[in-house]
Amino acid sequence: MTDLPLTDDPRATESLAARYPDLDRLSPHALVQVFADDQLQALQAVQAAVPALTAAVEAARGRLEAGGRLVYAGAGTSGRLGMLDATELTPTFSWPPERAVPLLAGGVRAMREAVEGAEDDTAAGAADVRGAGVGPGDVLIAVAASGTTPYVLAAAAEARAAGALTVGLSNNPGTPLLSAVDCPVLLDTGAEVISGSTRLKAGTAQKIALNILSSALMVTLGKVYGHLMVDLRASNAKLEARALRLVQHATGVPEAEAEVALHAAGGRVKTAIVMLRLGVDAAEAELRLARSGGHARTTLGELE
């Protein structure tokens, strides 16, 4: 069955999903199955966007290596997903929180409640970008399922005018956001099971794409050694145990030796690994890592 537009709106995310006219009559099991099956389209949309995401990673890497920031701009669900991605970079990769700046239409209050009219406020979108001091060294990731959100469009335009690299994620083809940014990423998820509710598979596709984009950037910036999350800094019991396992796995030393190195390294996994692998103290390990831009593999002389 062909999805039908609610009006003459061309955006697929605003169409009626013709397959589910009696959604409210389904049994709980059938209802859960419909939602689970529909979510598969989110992954398919991300798979189709791999070339665009790759281009965004390649374009953004140099600015971040030079000290630039990741700035996220969005409204509603899209903005909340951006804020989540920005927030998780610090505990996962020790990314400085001041270098992950989330801009959410309506401000922090909009994380928990709808702020009426915030997504339509173009002046606020531009002002928030100016207020964050976005400039040529930064990367702005603009996220809008519709691809037409005024706040997001204004933020992207302001950031681009300031010389920042702009990346745009939209769930509709041919939308203004994809034309307004340097690196457009289309996540074509189509009509939603609950018509117009883009917190469903459109939001899922955005979450996956943001995870991929930021994680790939962190790997290229030396935040991972092999497949190990070595920029972890242990700050509680769970993370201390995880850090110990990572150091042991990377070095092959006994638990007691790994624990001593981690303590001397102030809980920094990557520092402890370099200490143990090269037989140096914490200060020397930090110095060598700094010289290699924080890349453990380079520090250890493992690159060809």
> For 13, which DSSP code?
G
C-beta of residue 107 within 8 angstroms of C-beta of residue 121: no
Which of 14, 58, 88, 255 does the annotation list as catalytic?
88
C-beta of residue 191 within 8 angstroms of C-beta of residue 15: yes
User: Are β-strands 100-104 and 70-74 bridged in parallel, bridged antiparallel, or unpaired?
Assistant: parallel
Report how far residue 135's alpha carbon sits from residue 140's, in angstroms, rounded to the nearest whole number.
10
Q: Which helix (H) or strand (E) holds 239?
A: helix 237-251
Q: Count H helices and E strands in the chain, helices first.
A: 12, 7
Which of 119, 158, 192, 286 does the annotation list as catalytic?
119
Question: Is 257 a known active-site residue?
Answer: no
Q: Would you state the structure tokens that stand for residue 89, as one six-digit string?
A: 């970079």
Report how far residue 79's alpha carbon sits from residue 75's, in angstroms, rounded to the nearest whole number.
4
DSSP labels for 75-143? -HHHHHHHHHHHHHHHHHH---GGGEEEEETT-GGGGTS--TTGGG-HHHHHHHHHHTT--TT-EEEEE
Question: Is 98 a known active-site residue?
Answer: no
Catalytic residue numbers?
Answer: 88, 119
